[in-house]
Amino acid sequence: MSQSETFRCIKCKQPVDTLSFGTTQRNHCPQCLWSRHVDNFPGDRKSACGGPMEPLAVFVSQGGEWMLIHRCKSCGLLHENRIAGDDNMMILMAIAARPLANPPVPLDYLS
């Protein structure tokens, strides 16, 4: 078993343990789900950007796994991240419900 490391969240400043059920290359905070742009490819830690990455959306992969979509606030790059076992479920559900709360067209247009 590898040794646990920690980092401080770029958004909420909480300490984050890099080891968690469901992920092997954690770079997002389980409390607020924000991330830092550290990878060019998952787990490589070779990005020079380092900008904050906002959680935008969730989706379900072909294998049935929930994934987060992050957008870098510095360079605009989109990345997907696996959901970890200790991620804040209320924030995940709020992100998933955003399109329902703010539809792209007025609801009265649909009737």
- Report pLDDT digits (tens) over 6-50: 889 999 999 998 777 666 678 899 999 999 999 888 878 899 999
Is the whole-model pTM more than 0.85? no
Confidence of residue 4 (pLDDT cuts 50, 70, 90): low
Non-local CB neighbours of 50 within 8 Å, separated by 6+ positions = 36, 37, 38, 74
| Largest separation between any pair of C-alpha atoms in the chain | 57
